[in-house]
Each structure stands twice: as structure tokens, then as C-alpha cells.
Amino acid sequence: MDDVIRLENIVKVYPPSVVAVDNVSVSFRKGEIHAVVGENGAGKSTLMKVLYGLVPRDAGEIYYQNRPVHFRQAGEAIAAGIGMVHQEILLIPEYTVWQNIVLGQEPTRLLGQIDTAKARRLVKSKIDEFQFNLDPDALVGEISVAARQKVEILKLLYRNVSVLILDEPTAVLTPQEIPQLFAELGRLRDDGHTILFISHRLDEVLTLSDRVTVMRRGRKIDTVEAKGTSKEELARMMVGRDVVLTSQRREHPAGALVTEIEHLSYKDGEGRQRLNDINLSVRAGEIVGVAGVEGNGQFELVNAIVGLIKPGAGIIRVLGSDITH
């Protein structure tokens, strides 16, 4: 396969002396899914933002389709055919799917008026072409997070990008939604698109990717074929030592009640219910996990416990004392 992108000796230093990307060289092929993995702070997202024009590089060269490029902003990268979907979904909830997709690049009539019929038709054509199973007339605020992510991807496909950068795309999805995303990305790859997949979830990386580049502390450690490696080997490259990927648990009796939450509720500044009648207790010597897809109240729960937000109702007690703010 031909290399569609080459990064050579890329360096990015944040003041005063934080080296986020340290002399990294890597290439990405046409029609492949290429994962970029590493621990938090390894430099993988920064490297992709340098490619996309969101972060200026301090040294090195970028070649796209064998030509040197220097994108100064994301719009230049998109115009060239490179798009990025961020973890934070940036759509207008009050707009429909098709309105969000064409926003900023609407087809117009002779006098500059938006041709809404043509815009909707073009979006419906893209939905059908890539088999994304979306209703173009649905309000974005009323569709699932997984569907919103598809809208973000279609915004770029509508602009005819051939390279898609996805930053932790499964972080906002339920386990049931991930296989569908992977199937859609596989179809895009088979259609000739290049997918750059930023992640630290090694099971997903090995399932989806053709090749994997591992980064550690700003440096590229290696690029390997996904079929020829394992979770253990990737983890070893990510942290620089052997990693035990299984844990052995022993029974540990819980102690006295330490933290107690009763009927905790909270609405954000826009009146949206973020916490609804939460009841939770934590005992001494106990680890309590709070699970859920990102954006379902975990952040607000922690902020309420530590006093950063004021709940609308409920009580928080620690060692018997009411600490509700």
C-alpha cells in the first residue's frame, strides 16, 4: 500500500519545557485503519492535532500525498481531505441531522439562498452511501450519542475527506454500540478511506486495526502489524515493563459506613436533569465503582460530593456529618 501521510521528526514542546512529541516519525497508508496508542500523556492526541493543524509543530515535516503541507488551522486540513472527530461532540441540538452536516457548506441557489431541498438530498445520499442508518430530519438533541457521533463523521464525509482521525471514539459509546461503529469504519476502510484511531483500549485496537503505533512519553516506540502482536506486547511497549492484565481478588469484609448519599438530584444551568434521586453508600475498606457511558452523571456526582456544585435535593454525609453544600 502507498503511504498517504508521512510525519518526519515531529517535535512539539509546550512552555516552559514539556516535550509532548519528541522526534516522532510515522507513516499512514491509504485504505488502512491505523491505531495510535499510549498511556494518558503519551503524546498521541497531540501528534494528531499537529497533523490536523490544531497545534503548531516546533520541528519536523508533514507530507500528504507526497507533498509537504503545513496546515495552520483545521479548515485547511479539511479542505485538503483530512478530518478529525473529537471526543467532545460539537453539534447544535436544535438543528436536524442534515442541517448540522451541511452547516457552513450549504448548497445555494442563484441569489445565495440556501437550497434546503438539495442540502437534505445530498445528506440523504451520503447516509445511504455509507449505510449509517440515520434519519436526516431527526433533531440532534433527540438522538443517541452513538448517532451523534455518526453525524460528526458524516460532516467530514460530506466534505469529501479521505483521512479520518478519531480521538477515543468508543469513550462515549455503550458496549452494544461499539461493534456497529467498527463495522461502519471497516466499510470506510474498504472504500479506500484511511482511519487513524486514537485509543488506549487494547482489545478494541486489536479487533479493529490493521497496524498499531505505540507511543510512550512523547516518543514513538514502534509500529507493528495488529495481527502479529498481543495485548501483553502492546502494554509492555506502552509502559516500558511487563504488565499483569489480570487481577486476583480476595474477599475483604467492609467496615463501618463512611459516606452516605440519599436522594441526590441536580439540574445544570440549562435545566437538564443530570442527577436524579441518587442513593449510594461507601464503607471503610471498600472500593465502589461508578460505571456508565461518558456524560451520564458521573462527573456531576463527583463534583457534588466534593462541593464543586450545589445539588438541588438530597443529602451527603461523611462519617455521620452532613456535608451537603
Name the CATH architecture for the domain at 3-239: 3-Layer(aba) Sandwich (3.40)
Q: What percent of the chain has pLDDT over 70?
A: 98
Q: What is the mean pLDDT of the chain?
A: 90
Q: Which helix (H) or strand (E) holds 129?
A: helix 116-129
Tens of pLDDT along 162-199?
Answer: 999 999 888 878 888 888 889 989 999 999 999 999 98
- In the predicted structure, residue 220 carries a pLDDT above the cut 90: yes
Q: What mean pLDDT comes out for the span 280-294?
A: 85
What's residue 245's pLDDT? 63
What's residue 89's pLDDT? 83
In the chain the first and final C-alpha atoms are separated, in Å, by 60
* DSSP state at residue 15: T
Assign 287 a pLDDT band (cuts: 50, 70, 90): confident
Domain ranges of the chain: 3-239, 257-322
What's residue 1's pLDDT? 59
Q: Are 295 and 145 in contact (CB under 8 A)?
A: yes
What's residue 67's pLDDT? 95
- In the predicted structure, residue 202 carries a pLDDT above the cut 70: yes
What's residue 9's pLDDT? 97
Tens of pLDDT along 67-93?
Answer: 999 999 999 999 999 999 988 888 999
- In the predicted structure, residue 12 carries a pLDDT above the cut 90: yes
Q: How far apart are CA 65 and CA 30, in angstroms?
A: 10
Nearest to 61 by CA among 19, 14, 35, 26: 26
What's residue 246's pLDDT? 66
